[in-house]
Amino acid sequence: MTVKMLQDLLNEGVEGRGVLVRSDLNVPLDNGVITDPGRIIASVPTLRALVEAGAKVVVTAHLGRPDGAPDPKFSLAPVAARLAEELGRNVQLAGDVVGQDALARSEGLTDGDVLLLENVRFDPRETSKDEAERGKLARALVELVGEDGAFVSDGFGVVHRKQASVYDVAKLLPHYAGTLVAAEVEVLRTLTADPARPYAVVLGGSKVSDKLAVIESLAPKVDTLVIGGGMCFTFLAAQGLSVGTSLLQPEMIETCKDLLERFGDVIHLPLDIVAADRFAADAESKVVSANEIPEGWMGLDIGPESVKRFAALLTEAKTIFWNGPMGVFEFENFAEGTRGVAQAIVTATGKGAFTVVGGGDSAAAVRALGLPEDGFGHISTGGGASLEYLEGKELPGISVLEEAN
C-alpha cells in the first residue's frame, strides 16, 4: 500500500474541512525564548498549503517532557507566537489539549484558521502504553476536526513513537503524509537503497549505547565510519588508552573492542583531543594526542589533526550521513571539531555529494555555528527517527500511514 500524500488531500478538497496536523514543534527554549526555530520553520509548508486551500487547521504537537501533566514551562505559547510570525497569520493557542477551550475554539474556526492545541504531552494518554487509553485521546482529537476531517502526519521527529497523536489518530481518520514527512522518508530511502560511494557516516554524541544499533547496522554497509564526541572515549579505552575523566561507558568497552575487531578497517577514531581540566566554557584546555590525555583531565572536543584526517575522508565521499557533534560545541573553545567536520561535509556537498544531517544536536550545531544550511543536501528534523530508520526498524508513525484509508 502506498502512502497518500498532502497533495492527494488537497486534490480531494479541504475547503471548509477540519484537518488535524501532527507537527514537530519541539524546539529548544532558554527562559521561554526559542533558541533554534528550525522545526517550526520546517513545519510551515504543510500548514501554509492547508491554510491557503481553506482548511480549518488544528495542530497538535509536544514540547519537552512534562510527565503527563500541565507545566507552564512547557507551554506552547512561545511556539504559537513564532508559528504565527512564520505563517503571517494569527495562530490561536488552546488553553488545553482536548478540553473545553480546545473544543470551543475548534468549533469557532472558519476557513483558513489555525488552532494550536496546548502541549499534547500534558495529557498522560498521549504516551500511554495502554492502547485503549491512547485511543480515548485519539478520539477526542478527532472530535476537534469532525467526522469529515482528515489527518496529516508531518512530525517526522516523532514517527518512531506509537503515541496517540502520531499513530492512533491515523487509524480513525483518512490519513496523509505531510510535506516534511514525505521529504524525510525519501531522503532516508536514498541512504538505504543504493547510496553513491564512497559512503561515509559520521557519528558523535555522548553515549555508545545510544548509537550501538546504528553502528552495528551501518558498519558493514559503509566505506567510512567516523566516530567523535563523547562516545569516542569508550572506543579509545577499548584500545587500551587512558581517557582521564572523559565521558566513559565502562560496560560498553568489550562491545567496542568487538566492533573494532570486526570493523577496524572502516571505523576511524580521533588522533588528537582537546582536553580540559574541567567541564566548563572557560576551562583550561590543551591539544594532546589521543593516547596522552592527562590524568584528571577530560576530552571535550576532537583536535585539529583529527579534523584534518576526517575532512580528508569526508571531502572524497559521495554520500554522507552525520548524526552527533564532535565535541561540546555549545562552548566556544570546544566547537572547532564540530565546525571543521561540518565544513568538510559542506565541501563534499559542493562537489556533488549527497549529504544528510541527521537532526538533533547536529542540526542545532549547524545553526548555532553559523554554517550555511544550504551547504547540506538535507537537514533532518528527527534525530532518533532517522537513526531508527537506518537501523532498519519499523517506524509506527510511517507504517500506519501505509494502511488503507
Query: Does residue 171 have an active-site annotation?
Result: no
Based on the domain organization, do 238 and 109 belong to the same domain? no
Query: Does residue 360 have an active-site annotation?
Result: yes
* 366 in a structural domain: yes
299 is in an annotated binding site: yes
Overall domain count for the chain: 2
Query: Does residue 221 have an active-site annotation?
Result: no
119 is in an annotated binding site: no
Based on the domain organization, do 275 and 386 belong to the same domain? yes
For residue 217, CA distances in Å to 58, 82, 323, 328, 365 come to 38, 38, 14, 26, 25
* 210 in a structural domain: yes
Boundary residue ending a domain (137, 154, 183): 183
Based on the domain organization, do 57 and 176 belong to the same domain? yes
Boundary residue ending a domain (132, 156, 183): 183
161 is in an annotated binding site: yes
pLDDT tens sequence across 12-46: 999 999 999 999 999 999 888 999 898 999 999 99
Based on the domain organization, do 126 and 235 belong to the same domain? no
For residue 326, CA distances in Å to 96, 269, 316, 366, 402 come to 40, 11, 19, 12, 37
* 400 in a structural domain: no
**What is the domain-level CATH number for residue 175?**
3.40.50.1260
Boundaries of domain holding 118: 6-183
Closest C-alpha to 397, from 41, 152, 187: 152
Based on the domain organization, do 170 and 220 belong to the same domain? no
Selected catalytic residue, list 82, 207, 221, 393: 207
Based on the domain organization, do 290 and 175 belong to the same domain? no
Based on the domain organization, do 374 and 341 belong to the same domain? yes
Confidence of residue 207 (pLDDT cuts 50, 70, 90): confident
31 is in an annotated binding site: no
Boundary residue ending a domain (183, 214, 230): 183
Based on the domain organization, do 202 and 256 belong to the same domain? yes
What is the average per-residue pLDDT within 319-323?
96
Based on the domain organization, do 158 and 55 belong to the same domain? yes
Based on the domain organization, do 117 and 237 belong to the same domain? no
Selected catalytic residue, list 360, 375, 377, 383: 360
Selected catalytic residue, list 39, 56, 125, 339: 39
pTM for the structure as a whole: 0.88
Confidence of residue 360 (pLDDT cuts 50, 70, 90): confident
pLDDT tens sequence across 210-233: 888 899 999 999 999 999 999 999
pLDDT at 1: 47
203 is in an annotated binding site: no
